[in-house]
Structure 1
Amino acid sequence: MALLKIRKLNGTALMPQYEHENDSGMDLISVEDIEIPTRETRLIHTGIAIELPPNTEAQIRPRSGLALKHNITILNTPGTIDEGYRGEIGVILINHGKDTFRVSRGMKIAQMVIVPIIRVKIQEVSQLTDTKRGSGGFGSTGVSVSINATR
């Protein structure tokens, strides 16, 4: 099992942890009380820095409960923490709701997932291999609606 080293930068910081044994993400926790007015963003501090295992990155992802119940999500999701970064982990939350949202110290604000990274060589070419899809994108496959109602 890979080792994630965590350094507390703030005496009130709480260690990230997996809530359940098979969870992919561990909770990140706020070390501050801060309000996020509607349609605004705030950088929320976690009070921790990490040392990732070799050839990994940390992805910072929203918490579904905050999104569903309060319209709070992460502005740049997933946020990326590179292996060499040693500064404090901050989470940029945005309030899409109609009311000011209050983040309190000790609140779970995001999830952090550690994932492997594949580094690639880069080669400029004059042509790419053809595929059935080609350059089709942005809705090129149409919109399909399937309603399966049982009465």
Structure 2
Amino acid sequence: MVSVAMMWDEGADRELGLPHYASAGAAGADLRANFPDRGEVVLAPGARALIPTGLRMAIPEGYEVQIRPRSGLALKHGITLPNTPGTIDSDYRGPLGVIVMNAGQESFTVAHGERIAQMIVAPVVQSAFELVESLPETLRGEGGFGSTGTR
């Protein structure tokens, strides 16, 4: 298990608690909207907003945190994250905000305390990039975007 150090932003509602896993087999820990004024944000169809979580964190070196949409909000209301998965690097120490977008047909209210996204802690491998004159051949070659068929 990897430990991620967390702290509250000034004015955050600490009663909402830290992110937590909703079930024993959950891959993502739920993040909640944490408005300093305990308010809400109404997202019109097509609108997006940066929703505060009231948290900051220190991710261990060699890891990242990925922010992903919640499937129930996506299916029922069209609520998604436009930069999914969002990546938070291990050296970032600023406020944790979630960019939420309404891809649905009706306005959606993000209420204080609502579960808005899930975060996944994942290992990171950094690569060395090497310029070469040619790449090894494969059966697929340069085929892209649908080149492997639909079935």
Question: Same fold per TM (> 0.5)?
Answer: yes
CA contact (8 A) 2:12 2:34 kept: no
User: SS in structure 1 opposite 2:64?
Assistant: strand
Match 1:29 to one of 24, 27, 32: 32
- Would you say 1:65 and 2:72 are equivalent positions? yes
- 1:54-76: CA deviation from partner (whole Å, max 9, x where unpaired): 20000000000000000000010
Mean CA deviation greater in 63-72 or 9-18: 9-18
Asked whether 1:89 is paired with 2:92, we answer no
Unaligned runs of 5+ in 1: 145-151
Letter in 2 for 1:124: L
Q: CA deviation at 1:143?
A: 2.0
- Give the 3-state SS of the residue equivalent to 2:130 in structure 1: coil
Separation in 2, partners of 1:76, 1:12: 26
Per-residue CA shift, 1:17-44, capped at 9, x if unaligned?
Answer: 1111221100000013111111111111
62, 80, 100: which one aligns with 2:87 = 80
CA distance in 1, matches of 2:12, 2:54: 8
What letter matches 1:5 in structure 2? A
Q: Identity over aligned residues, as a percent?
A: 42
With 75-84 and 29-38 compared, the bigger mean Cα shift is at 29-38
Give the structure 2 partner of residue 109 of structure 1.
Answer: 116
Which deviates the most, 11-20 or 132-141? 11-20
Residue in structure 2 matching 1:124, options 112, 121, 131: 131
Moved over 3 A (4+): none
Return the index of the structure with the highest Cα Rg: 1
Contact 2:5–2:59 (Cα < 8 Å) also in 1: yes
Q: In structure 1, how many angstroms separate the alpha carbons of the residues matched to 2:147 and 2:88?
A: 33
Unaligned runs of 5+ residues in structure 2 are none
Query: Match of 1:98?
Result: 105
Question: CA-to-partner distance for each residue in 1:62-121, whole Å, 9 max, x for gaps?
Answer: 000000000000010000000000011111111111111000000000000000000111
Amino acid at match of 2:21: Y
| Mapped partners of 1:133, 1:89: distance in 2 | 41
Corresponding residue for 1:20? 23
